[in-house]
Amino acid sequence: QKVTVDVLDHLERLALVDFRDSEGVERLQKAIQFADQLHEVNTDGVEPMDSVLEDRCLYLREDDVTEGNCAKELLKNAREKVEEYFVAPPGNIPLPKLEERDTYLQSS
């Protein structure tokens, strides 16, 4: 199954994974082929599950804080911060130009 430039662009932005070369695109196509096998499973009449453990009673543990109060120390590691939050760069992986990705998709 072929992967379009639009799908590749969308996946790169969602996953922050770089598929810029033909090896990356080939790996993605193999993953899609592997996942497509799920379409062969008959799911007629099967209700979706909230959890694989939905038939069990799940107990929550007490949330006991054993260490903490170190936000100022942790924020010293931030290149950029706003109030008490780390600021991530708008695109923290370099994305190839559309023409480059189109070339990789056509060659695979």
The phi, psi pair for 66, rounded to 5°, reads: -105, -20
pTM (predicted TM-score): 0.40
The whole-number pLDDT of residue 45 equals: 92
Q: Where are the domains of the chain?
A: 5-41+68-106
pLDDT-derived band at 86, boundaries 50, 70, 90: confident
CA distances from 107 to 66, 83, 103, 104 (A): 54, 47, 6, 5
Average pLDDT over residues 37-57: 86
Least confident among 7-21, 31-45, 57-71, 85-99? 85-99
Tokens (6 digits) for 78:
């931030």
SS3 at position 39 = helix
Residue at 41: amino acid letter: V
Summarised one tens digit per residue, pLDDT across range 9-28 is 787 777 766 666 777 778 88
